[in-house]
């Protein structure tokens, strides 16, 4: 169907005073004595395109005024108010009728209501803006790494091991319920892979394999976590960006993470000014200032031990008590990043007992060279570490966690054959989208959120 994108009509002067055909869905309509007006959108622009109907010139137009109706309109592009354009309709064709029980009749609906209809909420201004920002950010992430000699790697989604060793893996099986097998072992030996399998929680371990040959790699794909966390920041299926860099120590990877975050934010501010203005107005007052502040500031680097001191000295009652060795809770993270520093903060050198086996052990014997990046409003968006490159120390850390060495034989061999210092991080794509858009629930920045007790 030959037609022109609404965005192009709105932004390219060459279309003014010419006849064009556009397609889209009716978003608002208004009927007056001699004229009727409708606004339509094809999804290419946040701004709707106004179609002006001269009733004396068109025989039948009633069908075109119903919200949600899909139309093809041919007409002349003419200048309108505030530098915009509109179309004087010459011909309107009905592509898809939309009866009055279309649920999006009102101008604004609550996000909770919209979550009940993921197939329709994408037609609202909010989701139009979220999905466009998401798309621009994805392109921006690829560009950042591609321009710096990183190789894009696709790591497996089906896995035989649990990367984080945290037991949050969704099981993958083709057998299902059966009382035919006497033991778990017998069950899995009859299953598709002949052993336990699951959906990957992270591509890191395979990313390390690739980095030990390609030097600098990144992944950008889904990760799956069966954690029972019904919070505004957790989904069971999220998109994960995981760079892995050979010859990089913790300081180096921290620099890369800060540079990448600033690059993405700068790019979105440049490419999506209308969308950010929309979020600034409707979802987070001060959003644009916050993003500019991020670009202008140097991220804080704060040692975990110092963070614990700050929290202990805080004139504030926390629900979860603070002691050296404890994992930081959301309330602690928010206090540090929002109330103390009011900018992104890397917390470094966590106690080894609360972190993963693969993290480089510091000389103090108590902490590891790991860092989480916390941002105001969202909390943790990046988990990062230098990896343990020493074979014996890695084995020791795995033994201390009762891990099955056979399952990690390949990973251990990386430490035998030309092991080098290397580091990497995982950025949660939805978390950074929340930060950039000001949307406060992760369910509203992904097309189909998967959460505990909810999938459709
Ligand atoms: O801190 P995490 O668990 O780190 C890893 O997976 C490492 N293997 C990364 C690496 O070093 N390559 O997860 C990384 C990030 C978190 O900071 C968070 O942004 C996001 O992934 N994330 C989630 N996002 C949404 N829903 C969930 N359930 C998430 N779990 C982690």
Query: Is 161 a residue whose pLDDT tops 80?
Result: no
Ligand 1 centroid – CA 421 distance (Å): 22
CB 254 within 8 A of CB 371: yes
> Which tokens in the block code for residue 66?
């119903």
Residue 153 in contact with ligand 1 by CB distance below 6 A: no
CB 257 within 8 A of CB 424: no
> For residues 209 and 207, what is the distance between their CA atoms, to the nearest angstrom?
5
Per DSSP, helices labelled H in 45-117 are 111-115
> Domains of the chain (ranges plus CATH)?
6-102 (2.40.50.140), 125-166+201-444 (3.30.930.10)
Query: Which of 155, 170, 202 gets mutated to test ligand 1 (max ligand atoms within 8 A of its CB)?
Result: 202
Query: Looking at the predicted structure, is the pLDDT value of residue 106 above 80?
Result: no
Q: What's the CA gap between 391 and 260, in Å, rounded?
A: 31
Q: Which residues of 206-245 are buried (b: 16+ CB within 10 A; e: fewer)?
A: bbbbbbbebbbbbbbbebbbeeeeeeebbbbbbbbbbbbb
Query: Is residue 166 pLDDT above 90, yes or no?
Result: no
Q: Which helix (H) or strand (E) holds 36?
A: strand 35-41
Q: What is the separation, in whole angstroms, between the first and last Cα of the chain? A: 32
Cβ of residue 245 lying under 6 Å from some atom of ligand 1? no
> Of 129, 448, 134, which is closest to residue 283 (Cα–Cα)?
129
> 264, 283, 292, 279: which is closest to 136 by C-alpha?
264
Instruction: Find out whether 379 and 331 touch, Cβ atoms under 8 Å.
Output: no
The string of pLDDT tens digits covering residues 327-340 is 999 999 999 999 99
SS3 210: helix
Ligand 1 atom nearest to 243, measured from its CA = 12
Task: Kindly state if the Cβ of 382 falls inside 6 Å of ligand 1.
Answer: yes
pLDDT tens digit string along 241-270? 999 999 999 999 999 999 999 999 999 999
- The Cα–Cα gap between 289 and 196 comes to 49
Å from CA of 325 to ligand 1 middle? 21
pLDDT band with cut points at 50, 70 and 90 for residue 391: very high
**pLDDT tens column, 202-223:** 999 999 999 999 999 999 999 9
Give per-residue pLDDT as tens, 271-306.
Answer: 999 999 999 999 999 999 999 999 999 999 999 999
| Tokens 């699951």 -> residue | 198
């Amino acid at each position: 169907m030959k037609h022109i994108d609404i965005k192009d009509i709105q932004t390219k002067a060459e279309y003014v005073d010419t006849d064009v055909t556009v397609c889209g869905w009716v978003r608002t309509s208004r009927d007056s004595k001699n004229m009727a007006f409708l606004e339509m959108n094809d999804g290419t622009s946040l701004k709707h395109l106004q179609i002006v109907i001269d009733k004396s010139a068109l025989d039948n137009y009633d069908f075109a005024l119903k919200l949600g109706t899909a139309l093809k309109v041919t007409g002349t592009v003419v200048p309108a108010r505030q530098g915009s354009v509109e179309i004087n309709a010459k011909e309107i064709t009905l592509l898809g009728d939309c009866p009055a029980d279309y649920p999006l009749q009102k101008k604004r609906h609550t996000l909770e209501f919209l979550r009940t209809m993921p197939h329709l909420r994408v037609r609202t201004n909010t989701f139009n803006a979220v999905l466009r920002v998401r798309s621009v950010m994805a392109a921006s992430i690829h560009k950042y790494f591609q321009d710096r000699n990183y190789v894009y790697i696709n790591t497996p989604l089906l896995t035989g091991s649990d990367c984080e060793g945290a037991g949050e893996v969704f099981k993958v099986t083709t057998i299902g319920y059966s009382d035919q097998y006497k033991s778990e072992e017998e069950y899995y030996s009859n299953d598709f892979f002949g052993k336990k399998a699951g959906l990957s929680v992270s591509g890191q371990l395979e990313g390390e394999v690739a980095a030990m040959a390609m030097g600098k790699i990144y992944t950008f794909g889904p990760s799956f976590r069966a954690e029972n966390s019904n919070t505004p920041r957790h989904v069971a299926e999220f998109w994960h960006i995981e760079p892995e860099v050979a010859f990089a120590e913790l300081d180096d990877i921290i620099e890369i993470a800060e540079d990448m975050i600033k690059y993405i934010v700068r790019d979105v501010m440049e490419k999506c000014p209308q969308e950010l203005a929309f979020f600034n107005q409707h979802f987070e007052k001060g959003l644009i200032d916050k993003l500019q502040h991020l670009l202008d500031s140097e991220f804080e680097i704060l040692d975990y031990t110092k963070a614990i001191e700050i929290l202990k000295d805080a004139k504030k009652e926390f629900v979860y008590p603070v002691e050296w060795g404890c994992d930081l809770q959301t309330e602690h993270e928010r206090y540090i990043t929002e109330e103390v520093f009011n900018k992104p903060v890397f917390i470094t050198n966590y106690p080894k007992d609360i972190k993963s086996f693969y993290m480089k052990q510091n000389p103090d014997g108590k902490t590891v060279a790991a860092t989480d990046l916390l941002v105001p409003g969202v909390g943790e968006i990046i988990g990062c570490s230098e990896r343990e490159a020493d074979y014996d120390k890695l084995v020791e850390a795995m033994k201390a966690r009762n891990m099955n060495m056979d399952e990690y034989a390949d990973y251990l061999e990386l430490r035998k054959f030309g092991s080098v210092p290397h580091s990497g991080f995982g950025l949660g794509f939805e978390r950074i989208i929340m930060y950039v858009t000001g949307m406060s629930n992760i369910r509203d920045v992904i097309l189909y959120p998967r959460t505990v007790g909810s999938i459709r």
